[in-house]
């Protein structure tokens, strides 16, 4: 009688641990997929590929650039990204330092550092660097799309004129 | 025989729908709790309450203010918030427009608009408004803490001097 109670308890513990291990494995696999999506978005941007850059955003996604209103939805995001890509010699790169996906697997974020440069109208190279947070949502087809993207500069505010 | 098969199937469907409805209810309850946390953090800030404002941040949380390096961990965040609270007549308010919590209930974000003002050294009132994204993590005690907070201005960049 004693043994029959111990065995089910042991089974519950083993199954419980297996479930936790499986959830952790699933989470890190999801995080790796999300990190890859962040890097692919970066490559689309580095290639100045407007269509691919916009396609990474969800239909109801928002990009929140500094010193500009929120761009929500693909037409507004297309207009915003077009402005970036129109800057002479525009270059951007970023790298996710942290990636986290919820246990349920459909919501996650990436965060890290960016560097960008472009030429101003006088031909002078403007350099900027800063940080970003991107909130991602997994879509019905399994792909990750940008729900919210926001960034700002690490450089000190230029002095008032 | 036919009826005994139909009844279990109906039960599965009813229980399935009940589970989905329960998950949706849980999600919106979680979102309401997170919205409340965002509003409470806002009130701590409005009250210039440094300790309470910092206490809303997770031990490994980061605040990403514009034109400043990332502040990670409570000592760095305390230093950053102290700077804000030291500005003469510093006032800030914000309002979450969107709140979402993952189905698993431990990760979520709030996003919305802020307004702030303070007096510069000459006594002139400086007004700013913009947007923010805050990523929150539910703690072991059930409270929501800030994992990442980032914001930037909607106002045009000041002209170069």
Contacts of B156 in chain A (CB under 8 A): 67
Contact A152 B69 (CB under 8 A): no
Is the pLDDT assigned to residue B7 strictly greater than 60?
Answer: no
**A48 SS3 class:** coil
Tens digits of residue pLDDT in B62-92 = 999 999 999 999 999 999 999 999 999 999 9
> Which two three-digit tokens encode residue B96?
């979450």
- Shortest CA distance from B62: residue in chain A: A111
**pTM for the full predicted model:** 0.84
Q: Does A29 touch chain B (CB under 8 A)?
A: no
> Which residue bears the tokens 């269509």?
A51
Contact B152 A67 (CB under 8 A): yes
In angstroms, the CA B133 to CA A70 distance is 12
Tens digits of residue pLDDT in B102-153 = 999 999 999 999 999 999 999 999 999 999 999 999 999 999 999 999 999 9
The reported pLDDT for the residue numbered A158 is: 74
- Report the 3 state secondary structure along chain B: CHHHHHHHHHHHHHHHHHHHHHHHHHHHHHHHHHHHHHHHHHHHHHCCCHHHHHHCEEEEEEEECCCCCCEECHHHHHHHHHHHHHCCCCEEEEEEEEEEECCCCCEEEEEEEEEEEEECCCCCEEEEEEEEEEEEEECCCCCEEEEEEEEEECCCCCCCC
Is the pLDDT assigned to residue A58 strictly greater than 70?
Answer: yes
| Structure letter (DSSP) for residue A83 | H
């Amino acid at each position: 009688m004693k043994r029959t109670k111990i065995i089910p308890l042991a089974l519950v513990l083993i199954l419980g641990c297996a479930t936790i291990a499986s959830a952790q494995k699933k989470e890190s696999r999801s995080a790796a997929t999300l990190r890859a999506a962040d890097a692919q978005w970066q490559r689309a941007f580095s290639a100045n590929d407007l269509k691919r850059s916009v396609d990474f955003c969800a239909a109801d996604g928002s990009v929140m650039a500094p010193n500009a209103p929120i761009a929500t939805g693909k037409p507004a995001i297309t207009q915003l990204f077009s402005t970036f890509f129109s800057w002479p010699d525009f270059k951007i790169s970023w790298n996710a330092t942290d990636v986290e996906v919820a246990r349920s697997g459909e919501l996650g974020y990436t965060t890290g550092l960016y560097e960008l440069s472009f030429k101003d109208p006088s031909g002078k190279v403007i350099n900027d660097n800063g940080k970003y947070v991107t909130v991602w949502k997994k879509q019905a087809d399994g792909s990750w799309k940008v729900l919210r993207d926001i960034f700002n500069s690490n450089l000190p505010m230029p002095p008032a004129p």
